[in-house]
Amino acid sequence: MTRFALTLEFDGTPFMGLQRQAHGPSVQQAVEEAIFRVTGETVVLHAAGRTDAGVHALAMRAHVDVEKDVAPFRLMEALNFHLRPDPVAVLDCVVVPDDWHARFSCIGRSYIYRIVNRRAPLTLGLHRAWLVATPLDAQAMHEAAQALVGKHDFTTFRSAYCQAASPLKTLDTLNVRRDGEVVTITTSARSYLHHQVRSMVGALSFVGTGRWPVERVGEALRACDRAALPINAPPDGLFFDRALYPDAPAL
């Protein structure tokens, strides 16, 4: 048995999420079925994180255990062939130790959220950004975001369906910057609550449009009440960026 670590890129638009679902297609199902076509083996894909319906990934790390004797490059090439036409690509495939785990060995995860701030509708960026027509003050959003950095009770920014044992999370970074009409929000942490990133972006958008003062984000955090959250940002603009592992570069 060989454990292979895969780096996956995918467009989440046609999927119900990364994790296998009973009510629709998933990234996990697509990859597992491709592996079956290559090896004849029924495997379970383990990933560094979970993504909701419509959320994308630039470099999601995952692993599978395969009995067939196959070189990593050959496995990657075969998987990319059999994944067609699903919008999933294996960017890298390497052999890892048996005790390496894509989820439990991971010590950090980063996300990118992309907003296009203009009145014209999206064309090239359709399903890959949140279109906000009202002008956004990215500097005010960045200032407000700093209230969320550190260890906090993120109940306000937690989905009602979140299965995490505790709402306590430590946010390492949360930055907002503008480049022309694109406002990009980047964040990193060891782990996140369900919908936490989209909830934080939703609150920051209210600051950006002037509906909330900067200090309101911190007040919403301290309220520890989901009712204090104005909106959840849509999934379209959210990308799982990369995963971090001990003694290894970002992958």
Residues annotated as catalytic are 52
Q: Which two tokens stand for residue 211?
A: 């509906």
For residues 193 and 156, the answer to whether their CB atoms sit within 8 Å is: no
Contact 9, 87 (CB under 8 A): no
The Cα-based distances of 136 to 82, 206, 208, 250 in angstroms read: 43, 9, 4, 31
Q: How far apart are CA 36 and CA 179, in angstroms?
A: 43
Count other C-beta atoms under 10 Å from residue 111's C-beta: 26
| Phi and psi torsions of 116, nearest 5° | -105, 120
Buried b (16+ CB within 10 A) or exposed e, 219-231: ebbeeeebebbbe
